[in-house]
Amino acid sequence: MPTPRGLWITCLILPALAVMLLFVAYPIVSALAYAFYHWNGMARGEFVGFRNFYDVLFTEPYKSTVQNAFINNVIVFVTLMVVQNGAAFILAYALWREFPLARFHRIAVFLPVVLSTVIVGYLWKLFLNPLFGIVNQTLKAVGLAGLAQPWLGQSDTALASLILVNAWHWVGFPTLIFLAAMQRIPSEIYDAVRMETESEWVKIRKIIWPLVAPAATIVFVLQFIGSFNWFELPYVMEGMSGSPYGNTDVLALYFYRLAFGNPGAGSSDFGHGSALAALVFIFITVFATAMTLYLRRREIEL
């Protein structure tokens, strides 16, 4: 028999808990369970053990797409970490100073973050159009016609274009996290070091970075999870098959293709899709946890 107070607390928590159990915990646990069954359409088939996992990792036609997609995901993560965060750190450092129009610059850097990926993807797809897009038009207008090319339609520029568009879309997020961390540096500490040295580099390395690092840890982990979930932008800009020649194929896209790629045709491959999802999920969880622990312990020294 619960006390009135216990009953009251239960009433407060139960609705939220029920939603979380039904629509988060249950699907995630079942996603792992589904991977052990053969699914060919509507109903669950026979238990096949680790067969789906084996197929996805070691058997064609799954193997080469998964490998290719994984490599693309790693490229996306590493370049975003370097390009996007490098730019974000420099921008935050500049925004930290009370320049004229500082507030306006802050609003501008974050503006694309609030736009839907679908809007950003189509906008840049139109800009990067080989014939009429503004990028090639501008290159021709300034006498650099030789640089104009089908950005999204050839293998060596497609992924790079997508990564740059993604950086444009999201750079404001790490910028403002870094900026908020910089603004929390006590001015006494900063002034004390300014007396010691004039070198900006020493100040960045000794004061600014160590105090920004804890906030950066969270940014890195979120970016890691985001990179291995990357779906919307490649889907919108390059379509479901990640053309050309699978150059923008990423794991989430292949997962979607396996599970929902052929709607109504009764050929949805939920078994292999779930196995791939489970592998990505385990990979993300293990590495995100390891990253958090490692970065926390190291306090991310430069």
Site for another protein in 39-78 (CB under 8 A): none
Does residue number 274 form part of the binding site for another protein (CB under 8 A)? yes
Q: Are 279 and 272 in contact (CB under 8 A)?
A: no
Listed in sequence order, the residues at least 6 apart from 35 whose beta carbon sits closer than 8 Å to its beta carbon are 52, 53, 271, 274, 275, 277, 278
User: Is position 294 an interface residue for another protein (rule: CB under 8 A)?
Assistant: no
Report 165-194 residues binding another protein (CB under 8 A).
168, 172-173, 176-177, 180-181
Angle between helices 85-96 and 209-228 (to 10 degrees): 140
Backbone angles phi, psi at 198, to 5 degrees: -105, -10
For another protein, which residue of 82, 118, 144, 293 counts as binding (CB under 8 A)? 118
Q: Is 5 in the site for another protein (CB under 8 A)?
A: yes
In the shown chain, the binding pattern of residues 133 to 172 toward another protein, with x for contact by CB under 8 A and - for none, equals -x--xx-----------------------------x---x
Q: Residue 7 and residue 11: Cα distance in Å, rounded?
A: 6
Rounded distance, CA 238 to CA 241, Å?
A: 7
Residue 19 lies near another protein (rule: CB under 8 A): yes
Does 123 bind another protein (CB under 8 A)? Our answer is yes
Nearer to another protein, 5 or 297 (CB): 5
Residue 280 lies near another protein (rule: CB under 8 A): yes
Q: Decide if residue 204 touches another protein (CB under 8 A).
A: no
Closest approach of Cβ 238 to another protein, in Å? 13
Backbone angles phi, psi at 39, to 5 degrees: -125, 120
d(CA 66, CA 49): 20
68 to each of 220, 234, 268, how far by Cα in Å?
23, 15, 22
# residues contacting another protein (CB under 8 A) = 89
Binding mask 233-272 for another protein (x = CB under 8 A): ---x---------------x--x---xx---------x--
Q: Based on CB atoms, which residue is closest to another protein, 147 or 155?
A: 147
**Is residue 27 a contact residue for another protein (CB under 8 A)?**
yes
Residue 239 per-residue DSSP state: T
Site for another protein in 77-116 (CB under 8 A): 90-91, 93-95, 97, 99, 104-116
Binder of another protein out of 57, 127, 153, 210 (CB under 8 A): 127
Query: Would you say 67 or 116 has its CB closer to another protein?
Result: 116
Which two structure tokens, joined as six digits, stand for 201?
């580099």
Tokens linked to 30 = 């079942």
Q: Of the ranges 6-14, 48-56, 61-69, 242-250, which one interacts with another protein (CB under 8 A)?
A: 6-14
Query: Could you tell me how far CA 235 lies from the centroid of its own chain?
Result: 14
Alpha-carbon distance 166 to 233, whole Å?
A: 8
Q: Select from 64, 155, 199, 267 the one that contacts another protein (CB under 8 A).
A: 199
What is the residue type of 207?
A: I
Count CB atoms within 10 A of the CB of residue 109: 21
Nearest to 275 by CA among 65, 45, 55: 55
Q: Which stretch binds another protein (CB under 8 A): 52-60, 62-70, 225-233, 242-250?
A: 225-233
Using CB under 8 A, pick the residue from 160, 204, 225, 291 that binds another protein.
225
